[in-house]
């Protein structure tokens, strides 16, 4: 690495003196500056080894726990966001149906109260026949059916509600690792 030259200028201290040429950086160093340069090279090597050790640790961590990968975290976030969106939509649908059902039940209850008043009136007047009873039965059965099966209420699903997520690998693009 180091070869002695005749008197030349030292790269570090700029003195004209006997210097030694570094085969790596191709600079000339005097006897006083050469150890400093060599020490700097050792420090650089130490830093490279430290970086290597850090990288090796990161590589081992990822190998042992692949779920720590940033793309896995992105997929996890997508999943959480999608679940939250589904829960929010389901809650909105439930609330809408509950509100409708409550109004619907009040409407049926009012009709039932009207029917009860009619029954009370018929009983009070004590004037009724089979036709009156059949009409009351029919009205009661209609109310039961309406309660059991509300008209025009259904659910519909949209296929584009949740955005899909895909993993695109280099091999999908024709590249190899």
Asked whether residue 69 is domain-assigned, the answer is: no
96 lies in the same domain as 134? yes
Q: With 60 as the cut, is the pLDDT of residue 175 above it?
A: no
Residue 162: band (very low, low, confident or very high) from pLDDT cuts 50, 70, 90: confident
Contact 153, 100 (CB under 8 A): yes
Q: With 70 as the cut, is the pLDDT of residue 157 above it?
A: yes
Q: For 170-177, what is the mean pLDDT?
A: 61
Asked whether residue 80 is domain-assigned, the answer is: no
In the prediction, which pLDDT does 164 show? 80
Asked whether residue 50 is domain-assigned, the answer is: yes
Tally of residues, the chain? 177
Angle at 37 between CA 35 and CA 43, to 5 degrees: 100
In the prediction, which pLDDT does 10 show? 95
Asked whether residue 115 is domain-assigned, the answer is: yes
Q: For 69-95, what is the mean pLDDT?
A: 91
58 lies in the same domain as 106? no
CA 42 to chain centre: 46
Q: What's the pLDDT tens digit per position in 35-80?
A: 999 999 999 999 999 999 999 998 898 888 877 778 888 999 999 9
- Helix axes of 130-148 and 70-125: crossing angle, nearest 10 degrees: 170
- Tell me the percentage of the chain whose pLDDT exceeds 90: 60
Residue 176: band (very low, low, confident or very high) from pLDDT cuts 50, 70, 90: very low
Which of 15-29, 107-121, 154-168 shows the lowest mean pLDDT across its residues? 154-168
Asked whether residue 129 is domain-assigned, the answer is: yes
CA 78 – CA 81 distance, rounded (Å): 5
Q: Which domain holds residue 135?
A: 89-150
Please state the domain count of the chain: 2
């Amino acid at each position: 690495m180091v070869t002695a030259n005749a008197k030349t200028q030292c790269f570090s201290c700029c003195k004209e003196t006997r210097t030694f040429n570094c085969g790596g950086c191709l600079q000339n160093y005097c006897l006083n500056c050469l150890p400093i340069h060599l020490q700097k090279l050792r420090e650089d090597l130490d830093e490279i080894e430290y970086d290597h050790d850090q990288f090796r640790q990161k590589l081992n961590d990822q190998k042992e726990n692949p779920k720590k990968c940033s793309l896995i975290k992105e997929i996890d976030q997508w999943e959480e966001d999608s679940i939250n969106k589904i829960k929010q939509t389901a809650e909105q649908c439930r609330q809408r149906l509950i509100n409708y059902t409550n109004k619907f039940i009040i409407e049926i209850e009012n009709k039932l109260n009207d029917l009860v008043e009619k029954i009370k009136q018929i009983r009070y007047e004590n004037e009724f026949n089979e036709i009156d009873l059949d009409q009351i039965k029919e009205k009661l059965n209609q109310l039961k059916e309406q309660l059991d099966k509300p008209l025009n209420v259904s659910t519909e699903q949209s296929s584009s509600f949740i955005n899909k997520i895909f993993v695109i690998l280099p091999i999908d693009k024709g590249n190899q690792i």
